[in-house]
Chains A and B, each alone.
Chain A
Amino acid sequence: MTKTYRDLLAEARARVREVTTTEAELAAGDGATIIDCREDSEWEQGHVRGARHLSKSYIEQDIESLVPDRETPVVVYCAGGIRSLFAAETLVDMGYSDVASMSGGFQAWKSEGRAWDQPRVLSPEQKSRYSRHLLIPEVGTEGQARLLDSKVLFIGAGGLGSPGMLYMAAAGVGTIGIVDFDVVDASNLQRQIVHRTDRVGMRKVESAQMTINALNPDVDVVIHETMLGPDNVGELIAGYDLIFDGTDTFETRYVLNDAAVRARIPVVHASVFRFEGQLTVFKPFEGPCYRCLYPTPPPPELAPGCSVAGVLGVVPGVMGLLQATEGLKVLLDIGDPLVGRLLIYDALDGAFSELQLRRDPGCPACGDGVLPEASADDGVFTLPTTPATATGVNA
């Protein structure tokens, strides 16, 4: 039997409840999922605040991941209220029990002065570049826009920082700050893959900037050619959303920890030694900090760095990429970041193990006596960053 458009529309109207914009707004307030079934280009011009975008052409494929529970109340809208009727009818066919179509669509909603938002729009180049991110529901356009607006700081453009900053740049993290005072040395190239043989002698920050700019022009690289210390740490880290600690001295790690706790900026921490690496996320006042883990630094002779002890080049590579992974999780607010957990990688065994870390209530940096509300510049911290002399070792 031939059916006309009018027949189909009448059938849809008979099966789908239609609601006014006022009723839709109330339903949203009561927890209904509002679905915008228009095309991408229409969504980008503006959408009902809080709505989820699921184009009519993908509704059968994607609705079950967007709305897993078929009892969830759903209101579908389009531009004028016709396409949403057909989309809603599909949901009824799929067994969704409380589906409505919003009469008048987004045109009516907007003209009545109801709340709407214009989503961050990616350029065609960005849509292509980040297409594999856009396909993942946990990232998508919203997450990618969040990354593009994020600012991360790498302390050290070395073994850990190199792979981390390359992948953060590739991922489209909009601002990457780099703190390093050193120049590229031939002995760095075995693992510090952000640098190049023809850049030996060049400032590391400059070399890293060149590589990142060539990789992704979306990224604004901010270089700080300086050594991080107690005098400049506050200024260096201000305004960043996340810090990657890839330094190789205890003093720097403590200085950074204390300042990051004060500024409440999460630090993704990693360290390496020969065939092993450690990794954790220090999220101020939500989990332990570096001082909770190690209240005092060891004397230098008991803790040699890579330049003394050596390191298998891929180990900082693995750990730097795990840092980048944790960093993306923190920025996107997805998954279960390694807060309060220390991940240990043993390359020779090919094994990962995990230890639980606890926030120390007596920690001088983040313990119970320290209020998270404390001002960032109140200067209350004068904590030891060099080895204590009472360790029983000839320091």
Chain B
Amino acid sequence: MTAVRIPPVLRQQAGNQKKVEVTGSTVGEALESLLGTYPGLREQIFTADGSLNRFVNVYVNGRDVRYEQELATPVGGSDEVILLPAMAGGR
């Protein structure tokens, strides 16, 4: 099963989980599987027309899917999907 790592800023909408096991053979399916369990995350990840928000980066095994096949990037097995939203805190 693919695991999605939930960043701290999104954990509240993900049942305070750090890692969530998901199904699906592409990044898009994996994220839909995640949102099936935690629908509160949707507006953080997707725009209204269903593409990825530009302030959230999605990595598969450390590689940015923007430079792979976006939501069609294949996942499976022990792959790890990382969500990386921008954080501003510094003070």
Contacts of B85 on A, CB cut-off 8 Å?
A: 298, 302-303
Q: Judging by beta carbons under 8 Å apart, are B53 and A297 in contact?
A: no
Tell me the chain B residues, 1-58 only, with Cβ under 8 Å from chain A.
Answer: 7-9, 43-44, 46-49, 53-57
Q: Judging by beta carbons under 8 Å apart, are A392 and B49 in contact?
A: yes
Contacts of A342 on B, CB cut-off 8 Å?
A: 84
With contacts A273-B9, A354-B62, A358-B64 known, is A158 near B90, CB below 8 A? yes
Q: Judging by beta carbons under 8 Å apart, are A358 and B67 in contact?
A: yes
Give the residue name and chain of the A residue nearest to B55 (CB).
A298
| B86, chain A: closest CB distance, angstroms | 4
B82 is an interface residue with CB less than 8 A from chain A: yes
Q: Judging by beta carbons under 8 Å apart, are A388 and B54 in contact?
A: yes
Q: Judging by beta carbons under 8 Å apart, are A276 and B55 in contact?
A: no
Give the residue name and chain of the B residue nearest to A294 (CB).
B86
How far does the alpha carbon of A274 sit from the alpha carbon of B8 in the complex, in Å? 8
Q: Judging by beta carbons under 8 Å apart, are B88 and A249 in contact?
A: yes
A367 is an interface residue with CB less than 8 A from chain B: no
| A25, chain B: closest CB distance, angstroms | 51
Among the interface residues B7, B54, B63, B85, which one has the most CB atoms of the partner chain A within 10 A?
Answer: B54
Partner pick for B89 among A302, A309, A391, A392, CB 8 A cutoff: A309
How far does the alpha carbon of A293 sit from the alpha carbon of B87 in the complex, in Å? 12
Partner pick for A276 among B7, B43, B59, B82, CB 8 A cutoff: B7
B-contacting 9-mer, from A94-102, A137-145, A240-248, A371-379: A240-248
Q: Judging by beta carbons under 8 Å apart, are A248 and B89 in contact?
A: yes
How far does the alpha carbon of A159 sit from the alpha carbon of B91 in the complex, in Å? 4
Q: Judging by beta carbons under 8 Å apart, are B86 and A297 in contact?
A: yes
Q: Judging by beta carbons under 8 Å apart, are B43 and A392 in contact?
A: yes
A-B contact count (CB 8 A): 116
Contacts of A275 on B, CB cut-off 8 Å?
A: 8
Give the residue name and chain of the A residue nearest to B13 (CB).
A302
With contacts A245-B90, A306-B90 known, is A357 near B8, CB below 8 A? no
| A195, chain B: closest CB distance, angstroms | 12
Q: Judging by beta carbons under 8 Å apart, are B90 and A303 in contact?
A: no
Give the residue name and chain of the B residue nearest to A162 (CB).
B91
A232 is an interface residue with CB less than 8 A from chain B: no
Partner pick for B8 among A161, A273, A354, A358, CB 8 A cutoff: A273
How far does the alpha carbon of A295 sit from the alpha carbon of B57 in the complex, in Å? 10
Q: Judging by beta carbons under 8 Å apart, are B82 and A355 in contact?
A: yes
Contacts of A392 on B, CB cut-off 8 Å?
A: 43, 46-49, 53
Q: Judging by beta carbons under 8 Å apart, are A357 and B64 in contact?
A: yes
Contacts of A390 on B, CB cut-off 8 Å?
A: 47
With contacts A275-B8, A276-B8, A358-B67 known, is A311 near B54, CB below 8 A? no
Tell me the chain A residues, 187-202 only, with Cβ under 8 Å from chain B.
Answer: 188, 192
A305 is an interface residue with CB less than 8 A from chain B: yes
Contacts of A283 on B, CB cut-off 8 Å?
A: none
Tell me the chain A residues, 42-57 only, with Cβ under 8 Å from chain B.
Answer: none
Q: Judging by beta carbons under 8 Å apart, are A246 and B8 in contact?
A: no
With contacts A294-B54, A294-B55, A296-B55 known, is A270 near B90, CB below 8 A? yes
A272 is an interface residue with CB less than 8 A from chain B: yes
How far does the alpha carbon of A35 sit from the alpha carbon of B68 in the complex, in Å? 52
| B82, chain A: closest CB distance, angstroms | 7
Give the residue name and chain of the A residue nearest to B87 (CB).
A271
Interface residues of B (CB under 8 A from A): 7-9, 43-44, 46-49, 53-57, 59, 62-64, 66-67, 82, 84-91
20 residue pairs from A and B, CB less than 8 Å apart = A159-B90, A161-B90, A247-B90, A247-B91, A248-B88, A273-B8, A274-B8, A298-B56, A302-B55, A302-B85, A303-B87, A304-B9, A306-B90, A342-B84, A355-B62, A355-B84, A358-B67, A388-B54, A391-B53, A392-B43
Taking A302-B43, A305-B88 as known contacts, 9 extra A-B pairs with beta carbons closer than 8 A to each other, sorted by chain A number, are A246-B90, A247-B90, A298-B55, A298-B56, A303-B85, A309-B89, A355-B64, A392-B46, A393-B43
Q: Which 9 A-B pairs have the closest CB atoms?
A: A158-B91, A392-B48, A392-B47, A298-B55, A271-B87, A294-B86, A306-B89, A248-B91, A248-B90
